[in-house]
Amino acid sequence: MRPQYSLYVIVLLPLVLVGLYWSSSRPSGEPEAARQQAATRAAFAETSRARHPALLPKPDPRYTLAQQVDQLVATARPSDAYDAYWLVQNCIDFQRTGDLAVADGDFMRPANQAEKFAEKLLCAEMTERMKTARLEHLTLAAKAGIDGADLTFLQTGPFGDPSALESRPDDPLVRAWKAEALGYLEVKAQQGDIPSIITLLGEYNEDSELLKQHPVAALRYATVVHDHYEMVLGGASKTTPNPLPDEFMRKMSQGLSPDEVRLATAEGKQLLALSMEKKR
């Protein structure tokens, strides 16, 4: 059951993410900074689970979980690898929470007892090897640019442990993983993928060192998100304020030369035009 990013998610994601990023003054104390990062990642994790019911691959009761995963992986298609990841991840989530949502027309509803029992049976045979292998399937999908896989890769965290980003930020393996995650986001962002652009902007704003390394990119993506919301909210006639206020845009421009500001702004507008063209 892979997540699909609907218009609702595109509208909600910045209000959750950017609102959390921008509402704090980003104090320099490490414990507070870590709490902020954990909160923003948790908010994104919840938002990124939105699914479009019509596009959900459903578990096939004729086969065991292992058989279904093996069948998907055997096709060597990255999109199937992504589905294989979600078959296992959904079992992990179900065993952890006991919650299960199922498609009901164009909406999702809580599973009934019979559906939960079927999921329990399906997931009972899940092994540690399957849990580990799901990360390989996810990496394959992210490398191939499957929609949403870059966001899921970031959400899943280093080696399946998102807490490592806060508990071991200086670990070379964690740093290498984060660079890989940002690379997948960057590829999708350059294709005009709005959720990826929003997420990258959040990463730049959250990580001061990353922002120092890529100030033009940060302003580029801020321009995309700002202008996107001007359109979504109605431009000059909007009744809801843009989630990226002028103060935020000035912050993103700090330290840049006029030429760099013009370049970032122009690139951002080009990316937004690309994104809108893809939706037609």
The pair of structure tokens assigned to 46 is 């919840």
CB atoms within 10 A of CB 244: 23
Please name which of 105, 192, 189 lies closest in space to residue 154, comparing C-alpha atoms.
Answer: 189
Does 142 lie in the same domain as 171? Answer: no
- Position 123 scores a pLDDT of 96
Indicate the number of domains in the chain. 2
Q: Which pLDDT score is estimated for 109?
A: 87
Q: What are phi and psi of 125, to 5 degrees?
A: -90, 5
For the whole model, what pTM was predicted?
A: 0.81
Q: What is the pLDDT of residue 56?
A: 53
Clarify whether residues 81 and 204 are in a common domain: no
For the chain, residues with pLDDT lower than 70 are 1-57, 235-236
Kindly report the three-state secondary structure assignment for every residue of 101-128: EEEECCEEEECCHHHHHHHHHHHCCCCH
Instruction: Tell me what percent of the chain is helix, strand and coil, each rounded to the nearest 5.
Output: 70, 5, 25
Q: Of 119, 147, 175, which residue constitutes the final position of a domain?
A: 147
Q: Are both 137 and 225 inside the same structural domain?
A: no
Instruction: Give the pLDDT score at 2.
Output: 52
Query: Do 123 and 32 fall within a single domain?
Result: no
Q: Are residues 183 and 201 in the same domain?
A: yes
Q: Domain residues for 58?
A: 53-147
Q: Which of 126, 57, 120 is nearest to 94 (CA)?
A: 120
| The two three-digit tokens of residue 157, written as one number | 């965290």
What gap in Å lies between CA 233 and CA 236, rounded to an integer? 9
Crossing angle of helices 215-233 and 7-23, rounded to 10°: 130
